[in-house]
């Protein structure tokens, strides 16, 4: 038997006494105990801020992203031990894969986001805003890491995924975390956190762990802290309404279990692939993790003339389900996480039975393979039938957090939307249809009450990630009952841990702060040419003022011949009446091409390649006789890591290409991206 410990203020410590006894969900055997009594939560908060926060804020987004990547690779190498412990929670191999490798996948996904942030410790948000006529006063926005702590209170169903999907985001943002998993499955979280701490990949103080009940873990949060809660809506709302949470305007993200729905389109009749896909998806949502998912389908909404067909098909598929010890390869569904959870689910089943009838499953009579169903936390899948979901409404209020779902009829698509929305807000809904008009109408009408809508049909089923799988780069959360929160979501999620601040000043000052060139800032002439300088030698604002070129009629004709672009405004003087052009106009892409000819230094040097153009605009017609010049300015520098030891050390440099005429007025503008060697090829 093991005493599972907390990691607090740089040490592994046991709580006082025993708060929770821990049991193997399959065998019922006691595997350990845990407690968080006596932890110094105020001290843990200070430790996180003083140690972890300061260290993380010194790192750039690039460095923090690479840290997450290194951690993900490290955990993958150690995944075998996590699978072994995960089985104690009642999880099958597939269940564990979702939790363990799905969680690690969150680290990889967030690590890749480093490329969407500047190579700075803070983020530059959006574009500059002109605030004065003369251009000497502008505004911008930056987003800096909050000087607080992220406290994550997680549910029992995903002890790994729940932790990793949250800390991946706050760590990339530069904010330390205190993780409080459910006391019932904290033993799996503790095993992984020990490896994370031993790896020393994260700065000390970046991650702390609370096992046990964690009473008092959010007592000391303030305005710079963030609390996330995953679990029951009732508990989450109580925590969110605590006086000091409200008074200090503490950021509180609530992601609550919800009554998610799956809708069968009227076109998906028996005999179609879509009908079979629907039945398979529902069966999977009932049995994966034994239905213990905040995203599981609780309400099966089908055309009123197909209720019997769906009931028969789903029952037939569930008949093939096998329940028992996940170590037996024939087992397809494990147990619930605890016997307490079984009792809670049964209590809610009794509430639902008052209005609707069970059409599949038996709470007492079912077979279990390789285990004693009385000792383990086993349960049969249960399917209800509700013949009038508008009047028999308990199904829209009561959630059985297990392998339980309800079939209900709808008359038309408008009715299906109403029924789906009667859940008062969900994390996800699915509609199975190959009719894009049906899909569009459902999505547009239902989106207001669902955090994610999964449109499934035979065209995407093979690669679909499924109804119940939130993806790291898409938002996870939902309105109303689902908590009104938002997790993950790629860059959107990271911004929850950043403070957006408006900054105002002279363009040169804003350039210095943002490390992005702003119009009106100094443009010292580059010496030598910027293409002769290595990545480290370049400074934001350095500018090449090119030689000039006067556009001729031959330029326009030759470019039309080479490009094949014979648009009338370039080649036909007689067609210009009624247009904005006074005479034949040079091709915009000729102007850009000529600009490249002007700003490029052709000799071999540190510039490895030009690989793209952003934000290209042609702002003023260029006629024959116009004299073109280019102001070619270092706009932004982004460090780039080496892929391997043989890779060339390099960085990405964005150059502003400001094309202007003899009056000095800009006629075209673009940003080009170049790859530039570093001086030190060993770095």
Cα 36–chain centre separation = 31
Point out the catalytic residue in the list 33, 183, 190, 255. 255
pLDDT the model gives residue 683:
45
Judged by DSSP in three states, 218 sits in coil
Point out the catalytic residue in the list 281, 294, 355, 487. 294
Alpha helices in 354-407 (DSSP H): none
Q: What is the DSSP letter of 385?
A: E
What distance in Å separates the CA atoms of residue 581 and residue 305, rounded to the nearest whole number?
63
Is residue 480 very low, low, confident or very high in pLDDT (cuts 50, 70, 90)?
confident
Mean pLDDT across the stretch 441-460? 93
Listed in order, strand segments (DSSP E) in 116-275 are 123-130, 138-145, 150-153, 177-180, 207-209, 226-231, 251-256, 260-264
Judged by DSSP in three states, 292 sits in coil
What distance in Å separates the CA atoms of residue 475 and residue 574, rounded to the nearest whole number?
54
Closest CA to 395 of 311, 301, 309, 315: 301
Angle, alpha carbons 476-478-482 (nearest 5°): 115
Residue 458 annotated among the catalytic residues of the structure: no
What distance in Å separates the CA atoms of residue 619 and residue 608, rounded to the nearest whole number?
30
Instruction: State yes or no: pLDDT of 625 exceeds 50.
Output: yes
Judged by DSSP in three states, 584 sits in coil
What distance in Å separates the CA atoms of residue 583 and residue 223, rounded to the nearest whole number?
62
Mean pLDDT across the stretch 246-269? 91
Q: What is the 3-state secondary structure (H, E, C) of 409-471?
A: EECCHHHHHHHHHCCCCECCEEEECCCHHHHHHHHHHHHHHECCEEEECCCCCCCCCCCCCCC
Q: What is the pLDDT of residues 385-427, one digit of tens each?
A: 999 999 999 999 998 989 999 999 999 999 999 999 999 999 9
Residue 400 annotated among the catalytic residues of the structure: no
Q: Which domains does the chain have, with CATH numbers?
A: 2-256+492-498 (3.40.605.10), 260-470 (3.40.309.10), 523-677 (3.10.129.10)
pLDDT the model gives residue 356:
95
Q: Quick one: CA torsion of 467, 469, 472, 474, rounded to 10 degrees?
A: 10
Q: What is the pLDDT of residues 84-140, one digit of tens each?
A: 999 999 999 888 988 999 999 999 999 999 988 988 999 999 889 999 988 899 999
Is residue 681 very low, low, confident or very high in pLDDT (cuts 50, 70, 90)?
low
Instruction: State yes or no: pLDDT of 682 exceeds 60.
Output: no
pLDDT the model gives residue 478:
87
Mean pLDDT across the stretch 353-381? 92
pLDDT the model gives residue 168:
95
Q: What is the DSSP letter of 53?
A: I
Mean pLDDT across the stretch 315-339? 91
Q: What is the 3-state secondary structure (H, E, C) of 134-152?
A: CCCCEEEEEEEECCCCEEE
Share of the chain above pLDDT 70, in %: 99
Q: Tell me the average pLDDT of the chain.
A: 92
- Laid out side by side, the sheet with 382-385 consists of 357-360, 382-385, 404-410, 297-303, 260-264, 429-432, 453-456
Task: Give the Cβ contact number of residue 31 at 10 Å.
Answer: 16
> pTM of the full predicted structure?
0.88
Instruction: State yes or no: pLDDT of 536 exceeds 80.
Output: yes
What distance in Å separates the CA atoms of residue 359 and residue 260, rounded to the nearest whole number?
20
Judged by DSSP in three states, 487 sits in strand
Contacts with 324 (C-beta within 8 Å, 6 or more apart), sequence order? 330, 331, 334, 367, 368, 369, 370, 371, 378
Task: Answer positive or negative: Cα dihedral of 231, 233, 237, 240.
Answer: positive
pLDDT the model gives residue 274:
96
* H or E segment and range at residue 132: none
- Phi-psi label, residue 341: left if phi above 0, alpha if psi -120 to 50, beta otherwise: alpha
Mean pLDDT across the stretch 627-649? 89
What distance in Å separates the CA atoms of residue 268 and residue 435, rounded to the nearest whole number?
9
Alpha carbon distances (Å) from 179 to 15, 155, 229, 230: 15, 11, 10, 12
* H or E segment and range at residue 480: none
Q: What is the pLDDT of residues 483-515, one digit of tens each?
A: 888 888 888 899 999 999 999 999 999 999 999
Q: What is the pLDDT of residues 265-298, one digit of tens each?
A: 999 999 999 999 999 999 999 999 988 888 999 9
Q: What is the 3-state secondary structure (H, E, C) of 596-660?
A: HHHHCCCCCCCEEEEEEEEEEEECCCCECCCEEEEEEEEEEEEEECCCCCCCCCEEEEEEEEEEE
Q: Are strands 543-545 and 627-640 parallel, antiparallel or unpaired?
A: antiparallel
Q: What is the pLDDT of residues 189-239, one digit of tens each?
A: 999 999 999 999 999 999 999 999 989 999 999 999 999 988 877 788 888
Contact between 640 and 564 (Cβ < 8 Å): no
């Amino acid at each position: 038997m093991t005493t599972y410990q907390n990691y607090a203020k740089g040490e592994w410590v046991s709580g006082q006494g025993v708060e929770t006894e821990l049991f193997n969900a399959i065998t019922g055997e006691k595997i350990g105990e845990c407690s968080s009594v006596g932890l110094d939560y105020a001290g843990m908060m200070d430790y996180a801020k003083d140690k972890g926060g300061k260290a993380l804020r010194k790192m750039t987004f690039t460095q923090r992203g690479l840290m997450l990547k290194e951690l993900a690779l490290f955990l993958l190498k150690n995944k075998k031990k996590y699978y072994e412990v995960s089985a104690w929670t009642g999880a099958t191999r597939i269940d564990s894969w979702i939790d363990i490798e799905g969680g690690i996948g969150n680290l990889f996904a967030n690590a890749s986001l480093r490329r969407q942030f500047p190579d700075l410790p803070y983020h530059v948000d959006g574009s500059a805003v002109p605030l004065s006529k003369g251009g000497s006063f502008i505004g911008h926005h930056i987003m800096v890491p909050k000087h607080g702590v992220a406290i994550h209170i997680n549910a029992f169903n995903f002890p790994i995924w729940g932790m990793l999907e949250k800390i991946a985001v706050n760590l990339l943002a530069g904010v330390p975390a205190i993780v409080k998993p459910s006391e019932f499955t904290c033993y799996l979280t503790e095993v992984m956190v020990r490896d994370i701490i031993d790896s020393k990949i994260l700065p000390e103080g970046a991650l702390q762990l609370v096992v046990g009940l964690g009473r008092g873990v959010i007592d000391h949060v303030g305005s710079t802290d963030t609390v996330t809660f995953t679990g029951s809506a009732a508990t989450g709302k109580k925590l969110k309404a605590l006086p000091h949470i409200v008074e200090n305007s503490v950021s509180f993200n609530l992601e609550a279990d919800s009554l998610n729905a799956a809708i069968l389109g009227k076109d998906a009749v028996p005999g179609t692939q879509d009908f079979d896909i629907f039945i398979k998806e529902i069966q999977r949502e009932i049995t994966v993790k034994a239905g213990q998912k905040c995203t599981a389908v609780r309400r099966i909404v089908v055309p009123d003339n197909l209720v019997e067909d769906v009931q028969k098909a789903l029952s037939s598929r569930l008949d093939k389900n096998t329940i028992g010890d996940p170590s037996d390869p024939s087992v397809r569904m494990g147990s619930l996480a605890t016997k307490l959870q079984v009792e809670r689910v049964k209590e809610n089943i009794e509430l639902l039975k008052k209005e609707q009838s069970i059409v599949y499953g038996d709470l007492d009579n079912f077979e279990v393979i390789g285990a004693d169903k009385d000792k383990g936390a086993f349960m049969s899948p249960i399917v209800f039938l509700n013949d009038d979901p508008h009047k028999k409404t308990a199904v829209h209020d009561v959630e059985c957090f297990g392998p339980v779902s309800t079939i209900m009829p709808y008359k038309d698509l408008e009715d299906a939307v109403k029924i789906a929305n009667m859940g008062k807000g969900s994390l996800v809904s699915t509609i199975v249809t190959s009719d894009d008009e049906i899909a569009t109408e459902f999505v547009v009408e239902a989106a207001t009450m669902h955090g994610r809508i999964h449109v499934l049909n035979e065209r995407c089923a093979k690669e679909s990630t499924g109804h119940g799988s939130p993806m790291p780069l898409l938002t996870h959360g939902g309105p109303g009952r689902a908590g009104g929160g938002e997790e993950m979501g790629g860059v959107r999620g990271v911004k929850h841990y950043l403070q957006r601040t408006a900054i105002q000043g002279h363009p040169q000052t804003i350039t210095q702060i943002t490390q992005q060139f702003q119009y009106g800032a100094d443009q010292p002439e580059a010496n030598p040419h910027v293409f002769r300088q290595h990545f480290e030698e370049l400074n934001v604002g350095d500018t090449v003022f090119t030689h000039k070129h006067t556009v001729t009629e031959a330029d326009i004709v030759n470019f039309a011949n080479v490009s094949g672009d014979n648009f009338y405004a370039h080649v036909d003087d007689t067609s210009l009446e009624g247009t904005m052009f006074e005479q034949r106009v040079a091709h915009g892409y000729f102007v850009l091409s000529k600009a490249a000819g002007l700003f490029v230094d052709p000799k071999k040097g540190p510039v490895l390649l030009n690989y793209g153009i952003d934000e290209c605009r042609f702002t003023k017609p260029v006629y024959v006789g116009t004299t073109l010049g280019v102001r070619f300015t270092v706009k932004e520098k982004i460090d780039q890591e080496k892929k391997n030891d043989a890779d060339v050390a390099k960085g990405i440099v964005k150059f502003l290409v400001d094309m202007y005429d003899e009056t000095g007025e800009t006629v075209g503008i673009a940003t080009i991206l170049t790859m530039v060697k570093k001086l030190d090829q060993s770095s």
